[in-house]
Structure 1
Amino acid sequence: MRTDALVRRQKIIMTACELYRSKHHDSLTMENIAEKAGVGIATLYRNFPDRFSLDMACAQFLFEGVIGLEEEAVAAFDNNPREVWISFNKALIDKGLGSLVPALAPRSLDELPPEVSVLREKTKVLTEALIEHGKKHKLVHADIDARTYIVGLITVSRTPLPALAAVTENLSTTLLGIFLAGLEHGGQPV
C-alpha cells in the first residue's frame, strides 16, 4: 500500500475510534465517518467494504495500543508498582477503552477475524501478567482475576451520560480511583 493511502486509512480508523468514543456506535453512518475523516465515501468503502471490516480495523488498532501499554507496564511494574499501575489504568481510560470495547465487540468472540483474535489472546496473557504483578505488590486482591478486572475497568470507564458528567468533575478518574481501591480489597457478590 502506498504511503499516502496508508496514512489515509489510518486517519479513517482513528476518526472512527474518536467518533465511537463520543457517539453511540449505531447512530453513526459510514457517511458520517467519511465526512469527519475528510475522505470521500468511495475512499472509505475502498478501504473498508463494510462496517464490520472498519470495526475490526478499529479493534485491531485498539488492541495494538493496549498491548504496547501492557508491555511497558509489565517491564516497569516492579520499579514503582503503584505509580505504574495507576498510570497504566489511566492510559486505558484515555484510550477510550470503556466506550470502544462495547462499540467494537461482536456478539460472539468467535466472529473476530484471526488477526484480531491473536491480538486479543496476547492482551489476555499480558493482562494476566499485570494482575499477578498487582497481587504480588498488594494492589490487587488474591480473589480478583483478569476477566473480573477487565470487565470492571470497561464498566467504570464507559462514557457517562452528559447529565451525570456535569454533576462531578473528573468523573472517570474518580470512578477509576474507587475501582482500583476495590481491587486491593477484593470483591464478593452482595
Structure 2
Amino acid sequence: MRSDALRRRENILRAARELFAEHGAQIAMETIAEASGVGIGTLYRNFADRNALVEEVTLGTLGDIRIASQSAVQRLGDGDTDAWEVLLGTLVQQNLGALSEALGLQLPRKISPRILEVQAEAGQSLHSALDLAKNANLVRKDVTEIELIATIGAMTRPLPRAFSKSQPGLEDRIVQIMRDGLRPQTTQD
C-alpha cells in the first residue's frame, strides 16, 4: 500500500475510533469520512462496510493493548517499576469503556478468528505484565486480568453530562480513585 493511502487508512481508523467512543458505532459513515478528511468513496474503498471498519478498530485497539503490555513486560523485567503506571495510563487513554460498549454492539455474534488471535495475544501480554507488577508489589495480588480490564473499562465509560458539568475534572478523579484501589493494601497494626 502506498504511503499516502496508508496515511488515509490510518486517519479513517483514528477518526472512527474517536467517534465510536464518543457517539457509538452507529454513527454515520459519512461523519467518519468527513472527520478523517476523505470522501465516502475512499472510506468504502478501504472498508467494505461498517462491520469491516468495526473489526479493524477492534483489532487496532487490541493490538495497542498488546504492544503496551509487551512494553510493560520488558520494562518491568528490567526493574523499571514506573512501567506499571505507564501501562495503566496507556490503557486508560485507550478509552476502553466507551469503545467496548460501542463496538460490542456492532461485532457479529461469531467473532472473527483474527480478533480472537489478537485478543489472546493481548491477554497473554497483559497477564505477564500483571504478574510482574504483582511480584514487584505494584498491584494487589488478587486482581485478575479480566478484573483489570473491567476496572479500566469502568473508569473510561462516559459519564452523564450532568455529572461532568457539575464537577470539572470528575473523570480524572474517578480514574485516580480506581487506580488507587488497584494498589496493594497496606495493613495497619
* 1:25-36 map, 5 Å: 25-26=25-26, 28-36=27-35
Q: Map of 1:118-157 to 2, 5 A cutoff?
A: 118-157=117-156
Equivalenced residue count is 184
**1:39 is matched with which residue?**
38
Whole-Å separation in 1 of the counterparts to 2:84 and 2:171 = 16
Deviates further, 112-121 or 169-178: 169-178
**Normalised by the size of structure 1, how large is the TM-score?**
0.85
CA-CA distance at 1:30 after TM superposition: 0.9
Q: Determine if the alignment matches structure 1 residue 167 to structure 2 residue 166.
A: yes
Match of 1:23 in 2: 23
Identical counterparts, % of pairs: 27
Give how far 1:109 is off. Answer: 8.2
Greater shift, 162-171 or 100-109, is seen at 100-109
Matches within 5 A, 1:73-152: 73-78=72-77, 79-81=79-81, 83-105=82-104, 111-152=110-151
Please list the CA deviations of residues 61-107 of structure 1 after superposition, one character each: whole Å capped at 9, or x if unmatched: 112222221111111125232x3222211122122222222222357
* CA-based RMSD: 2.2
TM-score (norm 2): 0.86
Change in CA separation of 1:80 and 1:176 when aligned onto 2, cut-off 3 Å: farther
Q: Is the Cα–Cα contact under 8 Å of residues 90 and 173 in structure 1 kept in the other structure?
A: no
CA shift digits 1:117-174 (9 cap, x unpaired): 2111011101111221222122322322111111111111112222222233433332
Unaligned runs of 5+ in 2: none
Q: Kindly indicate which of the two structures has a greater share of residues assigned to helix.
A: 1
Which has the higher mean CA deviation after the structures are superposed, 65-74 or 96-105?
Answer: 96-105
Q: CA deviation at 1:185?
A: 4.9
